Amino acid sequence: MTAPFYRYGLFGDDTSLVFAFVIGLGFGFFLERAGFGSATKLASQFYGRDLTVFKVMFTAIVTAMLGLFWLGWLGVLDLSRVLVLPTYFTPQLIGGLIFGVGFVSGGYCPGTCAVAAVTGKMDGWVHLAGMLAGIFIFGELFPLLANFYSSDPMGAATLDQVLHVPYGVTVFLVVVLALAGFLAAERIEKKLQAVH
Amino acid sequence: MSGTTKPYMNPYFAGIGLGLVLLGSYVIMGRGLGASGAFTSVVAVGVQSLAPAHAQSSEFYKEYLPANSNPLKDWLVFEVAGVIVGGLISGSLAGRMKRVVDRGPNATPNMRFTYAFFGGALMGFGSKLARGCTSGQALTGGAVLSVGSWTFMIAVFAGAYAVAYFVRRQWT
């Protein structure tokens, strides 16, 4: 049996929706557990008080990245059938900057505002409404944005290809970077707590 | 609820939990997580019901409106439905289901709502330009070392840190 199971035809589209719901259950559960249903908690990341966002995100990325690497190495998972979204460099850079401004102003990201809303945060509902409005504005302006949206296409580019470093070495470097980041995060938090 | 709120999970354990869910999605489906895509389906269906001809003539909305099936019978829509229920389960078990406006002690609810709406709008717009959000790009693309996803993630932190000082009033 080879993974990804869906791509190898182990089940069809209707069953994939059941898995979508179950995977979402786990996703929403851990977002709420981490404290990501709270805007004050999320926004603290950008004032240096509480670096939970960084720690959770990079632990999740490293966990999944190492899992993919080892399962691929063992031959259980066919990495060539794992989806890598295509890169469009400049629109993704500008989109990220706009998104970041929205994140610290609004206090949530798209997934966490849904979790915040259903757990009773009124500002989560307002953020959700604002997000739908923002998507609608993008949709209405799309004829003007279409050229920029599709600019700088790089295909399914990955860091190891661009840096000309073997996949395993890149994975190792990301782990080292993350561990250094965690150490720094713990130090920054301790320092700022001592100040207050 | 008894009124006792449990503390949040250790961030590294919560991160491992999220990472295993993401890994599970890759193993089962060959794809990762998402959030903004599901909300785009909702917007596309809304536009379709109010102005069908306009929606059908748009290159953007058409992507989210398949011709032969219900546009809400979509993988990301079902996944986000799961996110909502999962958040509800965790919040209930921890005693965190409280009707509040999450804000700093000196901020008014209306100030917080204004920031939340306009921040949400910028975020919605940015997620479309970047083809995904913190879920679909940062986490999902981050784990497969996508260049665009890492670019997006660094830009998100840069953008947020750059303006944090100017929007601090709502948190203080």
As a whole number, mean pLDDT of residues A38-61 equals 96
pLDDT at residue A88 tops 80: yes
Residue-wise pLDDT for A104-127, tens only, equals 999 999 999 999 999 999 999 999
Tokens 């991160």, residue located: B15
Domain parsing of chain A, residue ranges: 13-195
pLDDT at site B22: 98
Higher pLDDT, B172 or A64: A64
Strand partners, A88: A153
Q: What is the mean pLDDT of chain A?
A: 96
From chain A, the residues in CB contact with B9 under 8 A are 30, 33-35
Tell me the two tokens of residue A155. Answer: 């295909």
pLDDT interval class at A194 (50, 70, 90): confident
Q: What is the C-alpha to C-alpha distance for residues A2 and A65, in angstroms, rounded to an integer? A: 18
Does the distance separating the beta carbons of B171 and A47 come in below 8 Å?
yes
Higher pLDDT, A48 or B91: B91
Query: H/E/C letters for each residue in chain B?
Result: CCCCCCCCCCHHHHHHHHHHHHHHHHHHHCCCCCCHHHHHHHHHHHHHHHCHHHHHCCHHHHCCCCCCCCCCCCHHHHHHHHHHHHHHHHHHHCCCCCCECCCCCCCCHHHHHHHHHHHHHHHHHHHHHCCCCHHHHHHHHHHCCEHHHHHHHHHHHHHHHHHHHHHHHHHC
From chain B, the residues in CB contact with A67 under 8 A are 19-20, 23, 26
Neighbours of A107 (CB within 10 A): 32
pLDDT at residue A17 tops 60: yes
Q: Are A3 and A76 in contact (CB under 8 A)?
A: yes
Q: What is the C-alpha to C-alpha distance for residues B100 and B106, in angstroms, rounded to an integer? A: 15
Does the distance separating the beta carbons of A39 and B11 come in below 8 Å?
no
Q: Are B28 and A1 in contact (CB under 8 A)?
A: no
Q: What is the C-alpha to C-alpha distance for residues A28 and A13, in angstroms, rounded to an integer? A: 22
Domain parsing of chain B, residue ranges: 1-99, 102-172
What is the distance of C-alpha B75 from the center of its chain? 15
Does the distance separating the beta carbons of A102 and B124 come in below 8 Å?
yes
Residue-wise pLDDT for B36-52, tens only, equals 999 999 999 999 999 99
- Closest approach of B67 to chain A, Cα-based (Å): 16
Query: H/E/C letters for each residue in chain A?
Result: CCECCCCCCCCCHHHHHHHHHHHHHHHHHHHHHHCCCCHHHHHHHHHCCCCHHHHHHHHHHHHHHHHHHHHHHHCCECHHHCCCCCEEHHHHHHHHHHHHHHHHHHCCCHHHHHHHHHCCEHHHHHHHHHHHHHHHHHHHHHHHHHHHHCCCEEECCEHHHHHCCCHHHHHHHHHHHHHHHHHHHHHHHHHHHHHC
pLDDT interval class at A49 (50, 70, 90): confident
pLDDT at site A193: 79
As a whole number, mean pLDDT of residues A168-174 equals 98
Of all residues in chain A, the percent with pLDDT exceeding 70 is: 99
The stretches in chain B having pLDDT less than 50 are 1-2
- Closest approach of B49 to chain A, Cα-based (Å): 14
pLDDT interval class at A192 (50, 70, 90): confident
- Closest approach of B69 to chain A, Cα-based (Å): 12
Q: Is B45 on the interface with A (CB under 8 A)?
A: no
b/e for A113-141, b at 16 or more Cβ within 10 A?
A: bbbbbbbbbbbbbbbbbbbbbbbbbbbee
Q: Taken in order A59, A88, A155, A166, is the CA torsion positive or negative?
A: negative
Q: What is the C-alpha to C-alpha distance for residues A140 and A134, in angstroms, rounded to an integer? A: 10
Tell me the two tokens of residue B97. Answer: 């289901």
Tokens 């079902």, residue located: B78
As a whole number, mean pLDDT of residues A172-186 equals 98
ipTM over 0.95: yes
Residues 6+ away with beta carbon under 8 Å from A145: A138, B129
Q: Are A104 and A46 in contact (CB under 8 A)?
A: yes
Nearest Cβ partner for A132 among B43, B88, B132: B43
Nearest Cβ partner for B96 among A57, A108, A119: A119
As a whole number, mean pLDDT of residues A1-21 equals 94
pLDDT at residue A1 tops 90: no
For A108, name the nearest residue in chain B, comparing CA atoms only.
B120
